[in-house]
Amino acid sequence: MKHKTNKQVFNKAIKELNDIDLAILRERILTVCEFTIQNKETVTKQMEGGFISPELIIGACERIFEKFNFKD
């Protein structure tokens, strides 16, 4: 069984979810990213020694937040 890529999963969701579902998904993504960005020190401490570096997660959240924000 071939696993779908993250891009394939997101594209399928965009095509199949209704506008309310997508608005909720967007809001949840923004909330998690904003929390991570605003709490960099806490997130870094919690993730110390983990498999994924805190800097990678924080950087990803900053980029994701920029693309998903409601300002543009």
Identify the pLDDT of residue 66: 95
Identify the pLDDT of residue 5: 96
The list of the chain residues with pLDDT below 50 reads none
Residue bearing tokens 């110390």: 48
Q: pTM of the predicted model, to two decimals? A: 0.85
Neighbour tally for 29: CB within 10 Å? 15
